[in-house]
Amino acid sequence: MSAPTDYDMRVTKRLPAGIWALGFVSLLMDVSSEMIHALLPVYLTVGLGASTLAVGVIEGIAEATAAITKVFSGALSDRIGRRKELAALGYGLAAVTKPVFPLASSLGWVVAARFIDRVGKGIRGAPRDALVADLAPPGMRGAAFGLRQSLDTVGAFLGPLMAIGLMWLFANDFRSVFWIAVLPAFLSVGLLLWIVKEPAHPAGRRKVRNPLARAELRLLGPVYWWVVAVAALFTLARFSEAFLILRAQSAGTPLMLVPLVLVGMNLAYALSAWPVGVLSDRIGRMGLLLSGLGLLIVADLILALSPGLAGIAVGLLTWGLHMGFTQGLLSALVAETVPEELRGTAFGMFNLVTGVALLIASLLAGALWETYGSAATFLAGAGFAAVSVLGLLPLRRQLAGGPKRG
């Protein structure tokens, strides 16, 4: 992928300060969360004596809670006509749970903190994405979502790297690392409260009394629901990143280097999401989305068939590129295919459906891996990605024939 042109950079410099601030809010909170989450499974089992089954139950309940909460927080932001307060509440809940991890003396405290943290994530997700759409100029939504996604992903790989370095510095003292993780979480909330300003509502904007009513959901329109369906199919093709770690480990990656798997993948993701978003504002989204699905098929095939570490590394970087080519663009499509007053609900439903699809995909991937081996898991992913390509073709025609939302 070529570097952004001077024109591209001039365009992105005109993104409102609030978009940049929201990107750094995501970056700081991800640094904090990933510093803890990178160590939490080991801390639970080694430090607090939890079983691996308990770890799985904790993570499953936490993620399901986040997915369900997103629907209601998005709808509530549409009902009250405000996004920032709900986003701040979500980030604030995540921040106040961070000191619990170093202070916890039992598994129960950690479970409660993890649960509240995921509730916070669920509360902030849809209102934050709707706020990005509200702040972004109409012709720059790809750049806006791409920038936020890139900065968010920078946090996702800086956090584990900092956890590794701090564990070395503090001689494997989990609690000291967890205390350091508290700082970026509260910086994130402060940045949101003092820098991000909610835009004024356009004159004559319709008030929504019950965003989840059937009549309101119908107003989201068939093009939006097709975007959701394609995204769900696509999510079935990109199961949990835990399987990328397992694949690298099975190919002979030393245990101490296993965390670098997600670092490399997220680095490719972070470097590509913003330029791709800028480019999509100039040439359209669908061709780039098709390219992203093509990259996923290539990544799956490499990971299924490559016997060596060099091939696995190429597959992981290609996987990261496909994320950069798709995630921000799907968010931009959601923003552009629904009425402005229902954007929070739209993002909430989108996140719920894709979250359920990710759970199904991960269960299916695990079953295939255990029954037929790792190659079957990644070949199945390539198959779902190919079906997603077929779903994008009619969507391309619908977007070409219908007006864009403001």
Single residue among 198, 231, 251 that ends a domain in this structure? 198
List the one residue out of 237, 212, 222 whose CA is nearest residue 402.
222
Q: Are residues 57 and 128 both part of a single domain? A: yes
Residue 207 in any domain: the answer is no
Contact 18, 192 (CB under 8 A): no
Q: Which domain holds residue 392?
A: 214-406
The domain spanning residue 118 has which CATH number?
A: 1.20.1250.20
Q: Give the residues of the chain that fall short of pLDDT 50.
A: 1-12, 402-404, 406
CA separation for the pair 125, 131 (Å, rounded)? 10
Whether residue 254 is found in the same domain as residue 379: yes
Domain assignment of residue 370, yes or no = yes
Q: How many domains does the chain have?
A: 2
Handedness of CA 126, 191, 23, 166 (dihedral sign): negative
Look at residue 289 and tell me if it is in a domain.
yes
DSSP type of residue 342: G
d(CA 145, CA 278): 9
Same domain? For 243 and 180 the reply is no
Distance CA 101, CA 66 (A): 19
Q: What is the pLDDT of residue 7?
A: 44
Whats the size of the chain, residue-wise? 406
194 and 224 both lie in a single domain: no
Residues 355 and 326 in one domain: yes
Residues 332 and 360 in one domain: yes
Do 79 and 182 belong together in one domain? yes
For the whole prediction, is pTM greater than 0.85?
no
Distance of CA 363 to the CA centre of its chain: 19
Q: Are residues 49 and 90 in the same domain?
A: yes
A 10 A CB-CB count for 274 gives 26
- The span from the CA of 1 to the CA of 278, in Å, is 13
In this structure, the answer to whether residues 327 and 240 fall within a common structural domain is yes
Please provide the DSSP assignment of 99-149 as one string.
Answer: THHHH--SHHHHHHHHHHHHHHHHHHHHHHHHHHHHHS-GGGHHHHHHHHH
Q: Are residues 179 and 233 in the same domain?
A: no
Is 85 a domain residue?
Answer: yes
